[in-house]
């Protein structure tokens, strides 16, 4: 029983779940030339897509042909916001529905992206059924529109978001998760995933640079040079990860949002909005990365802890998340944080991707 408890992580019952699938295809010149205009191409795909989604009861789906990365978050109000590099989708799976097309007029998009957002209750319990429905829609689209195109690349994203300090705020109820890996979970529910797939599992958390923290570390902020301030957090993060036997992680304090990839697929790179982080999850060598600009004080410091193959257990990733939570507590115990008033958001991510 003690061993089993090590593989369960107790997450507050008010945790928020998100689940979405992103299908990407790279259209060639011949594909665009098969339509009278570029705009007509996108509108035709949208009509076909949304008709298929109605057939399979997929109620929140978006077509993106603007070469922007979709980012999905929970919110009680529905918003779709655009930046130069991102499309941000905020929604509540319980009641938000939409079928929308986003494109840059008269411009050939390098990639056409189909974003399928899960809706309803118990997203994790129904995730395999949702994945199956998306596979059926993509099969129809390939038969109807993308006959001579290369395969879709399908990415399945699931995450749980919760406040680490929920108990201090009076939210005592929790649920014990084993956090099983996606592949065996789907296989046991008759959702077929090809043998060739890539998987990433990781956790993120953020620490706002509040007035209390600025006051606490005022001595390390000298004439708009914040190198010592960031070095403190970087050193503390590395030390606490090492103490909890976590080898793959990153601190991002340059104003960009971290996105996480497997190093077999992508390399580290960044722009003004996004910091791509690539990890070799098969390696046991330490991969702790830090990104900051010494002359720039950010509002939020982002942290990432990636699970390696060593962290992967048949039971699930519960033990990994317990190690992550110990790391966060050790880091935060040294900081001026009011746990009764301030949230510390933790997100547990599971991704699986494959050519479809």
Q: In what helix (H) or strand (E) does residue 52 lie, and over which residues does it extend?
A: helix 38-55
pLDDT at 4: 55
pLDDT at 272: 75
Contact 133, 57 (CB under 8 A): yes
Strand 86-91 and strand 69-74: the pairing is parallel
Six-digit token string for 341: 């008033």
Partnered with residue 248 across adjacent β-strands are: 287
pLDDT at 286: 93
Q: What are the residue ranges spanned by the domains of the chain? A: 2-9+202-350, 27-149
Partnered with residue 227 across adjacent β-strands are: none
pLDDT at 271: 72
pLDDT at 222: 80
Tens of pLDDT along the chain (356 residues) come to 445 578 899 999 999 999 999 999 999 888 999 999 999 999 999 999 999 999 999 999 999 999 999 999 999 999 999 999 999 999 999 999 999 999 999 999 999 999 999 999 999 999 999 999 999 999 999 998 887 777 899 999 999 999 999 999 999 999 999 999 999 999 999 999 999 999 999 999 999 999 999 999 998 988 789 999 999 999 999 999 999 999 999 999 999 999 998 877 666 566 778 899 999 999 999 999 999 999 999 999 999 999 999 999 989 999 999 999 999 999 999 898 989 999 999 999 999 999 99
pLDDT at 1: 40
pLDDT at 269: 64
pLDDT at 224: 83
**What is residue 227's three-state secondary structure?**
helix
Strand 274-279 and strand 257-262: the pairing is parallel
Six-digit token string for 151: 């395969």
**Number of DSSP helices (H) and strands (E) in the chain, helices first:** 8, 18
Q: Cα separation of 15 and 177, whole Å? A: 12
- SS3 string of 298-322? CCEEEEEEECCHHHCCCCCCHHHHH
Please state, as a whole number, how many other Cβ atoms lie within 10 Å of the Cβ of residue 150.
Answer: 11
Contact 337, 250 (CB under 8 A): no
Show the beta-strand stretches assigned E in 218-266: 248-253, 257-262
């Amino acid at each position: 029983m003690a061993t089993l408890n090590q593989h369960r992580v107790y997450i507050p019952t008010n945790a928020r779940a998100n689940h979405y699938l992103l299908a990407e295809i790279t259209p060639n010149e011949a594909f665009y030339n098969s339509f009278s205009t570029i705009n007509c191409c996108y509108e035709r795909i949208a009509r076909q897509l949304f008709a298929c989604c109605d057939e399979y009861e997929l109620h929140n789906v978006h077509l993106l042909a603007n070469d922007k990365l979709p980012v999905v978050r929970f919110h009680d109000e529905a918003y779709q916001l655009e930046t130069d590099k991102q499309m941000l989708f905020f929604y509540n799976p319980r009641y938000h529905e939409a079928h929308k097309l986003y494109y840059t007029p008269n411009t050939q998009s390098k990639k056409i992206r189909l974003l399928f957002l899960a809706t309803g209750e118990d997203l994790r319990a129904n995730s395999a059924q949702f994945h199956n429905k998306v596979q059926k829609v993509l099969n129809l689209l390939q038969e109807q529109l993308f006959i001579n195109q290369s395969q879709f690349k399908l990415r399945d994203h699931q995450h749980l978001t919760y406040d680490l300090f929920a108990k201090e705020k009076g939210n005592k109820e929790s649920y014990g998760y084993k956090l099983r890996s996606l592949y065996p979970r789907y296989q046991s529910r008759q959702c077929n995933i090809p043998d060739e797939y890539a998987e990433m599992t990781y956790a993120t958390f953020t620490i706002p640079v509040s007035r209390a923290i600025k006051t606490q570390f005022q001595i390390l902020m000298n004439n708009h040079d914040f190198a010592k301030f960031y070095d403190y957090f970087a050193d503390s993060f590395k030390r606490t990860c090492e103490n909890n036997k976590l080898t793959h992680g990153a601190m991002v304090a340059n104003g960009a949002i971290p996105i996480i990839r497997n190093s077999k697929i992508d390399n580290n790179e960044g722009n003004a909005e996004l910091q791509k982080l690539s990890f070799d999850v098969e390696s046991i060598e330490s991969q702790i990365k830090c990104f900051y600009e010494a002359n720039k004080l950010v509002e939020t410091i982002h942290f990432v802890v990636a699970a390696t193959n060593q962290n992967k257990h048949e039971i699930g990733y519960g033990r990994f998340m317990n190690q992550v939570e110990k790391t966060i507590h050790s880091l935060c115990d040294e900081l001026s944080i009011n746990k009764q008033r301030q949230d510390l958001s933790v997100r547990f991510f599971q991704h699986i991707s494959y050519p479809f």
